[in-house]
Homo-oligomer: A and B are copies of this chain.
Amino acid sequence: MVNMMKAVYCDRGPISLRIDYPQPTVDDGDALVRVILAGVCATDLEMMAGYGPDFSGVLGHEFVGIVEAAPGHEQWVGRRVVGEINIGCGECELCRRGLSKHCRNRTTVGISDKDGVFADHISLPVANLHHVPDDVSDEQAVFTEPLAAALQVLEQISVRPTTAAAVVGDGRLGLLIAQVLAQTGCRLTVFGRHEQNLKLLSHITAEVIQVGTSAGPAGQFADCFDIVVEATGDETGFDTARNIVRPGGVIVLKSTFAGPMAEFDSSSLVVDEVSIVGSRCGPFEPALRMLESGQVRVEEMIHARYSLDDAVQALDLASQKGVLKVLIQP
């Protein structure tokens, strides 16, 4: 007998709430996790807009939950956990080289060939789980995955105390990246469009600049920054980043979206010796440490909380401009 559950099903874009979706079964090495809270990410919204067009399954990849079963790994049962979202094949050359998160045969929770977390239950390999410290609340823990993505910037590039850094974008991810960069003592500037979002950065040392709805930062910032992190979530950010990064500087791209190819002037990139760094998922353990210490504040970023029954409305709200984290509670 297969138990049934509620789940938000994404059918190559359009979503619907299903009340009789089969609960996942678990094999040796997998854990069955009851979802406590899930978070809506820009990627979920892009999936609904056609990014990753081949995905049919349960949406969502940010969560905190409780392990209910873990055949062969019973010590995990009852633990509160968060989970990494990429599941490599374990066999290919990339997996053998420790690059399983980039495995070409991987599945990705709620994004590619693997049911996601907008549901009562999920299954995930035990190897993907991280135990949540008692001092981290559910509302904090649900930010572990996006905070890890923010920390990935520091895994990839060196941000020093004397670095002039900019974050372009004041959405969910932009605010996390700004807080993470501020930890380094760098000279930080954050460009955003939403006054109420930028206000959430009042506890960090950063110059905060509100820009118009269509214009990017003004020309006065040309060549100003050693490092620019582009987190606008759409295709508008790259040109802005290219304009304000100094020669020899680094642009970090964080946005994945359904949209047109970006154009770049290859020769000018060479002449200015600018680097572009694609940046995606990051390390969970330091994210949990930062949540535990309170170094990064996330609870103010919660805009609304919906029951799983109202998940479709939750996703609709999350898609509105300037709305920060929307949580879904099974």
Which residues of chain A from 269 to 286 have a CB within 8 Å of any chain B CB?
269-280
Interface residues as binary, A223-262 with B (CB distance below 8 Å gives 1, 0 otherwise) = 1000000000001001000000011100001111111011
A256 touches B271 (CB 8 A): yes
Copies in the assembly, this chain: 2
Residue in B51, B261, B275 whose CB lies within 8 Å of A275: B275
* Contact-residue size bin, chain A (C-beta under 8 Å from the other chain): 35 or more
Chain B residues contacting A258 (CB-CB under 8 Å) are 267
Interface residues as binary, A150-194 with B (CB distance below 8 Å gives 1, 0 otherwise) = 000000100000000000000000000000000000000000000
Residue in B102, B271, B280 whose CB lies within 8 Å of A278: B271
Residue in B156, B247, B254, B270 whose CB lies within 8 Å of A99: B247
Q: Does A293 contact B (CB under 8 A)?
A: no
Bound-state CA distance A256–B271 (Å) is 7
Question: Would you give the shortest CB distance from A277 to chain B, in whole angstroms?
Answer: 5
Known contacts A99-B247, A248-B102, A261-B265, A254 near B270 by CB under 8 Å = yes
B223 touches A93 (CB 8 A): yes
Q: Which residue of B lies closest to A93 (CB)?
A: B223
Chain B residues contacting A223 (CB-CB under 8 Å) are 93-94, 104
Query: Interface on A for B, CB 8 Å cutoff?
Result: 51, 93-94, 99, 102, 104, 156, 223, 235, 238, 246-248, 253-259, 261-267, 269-280
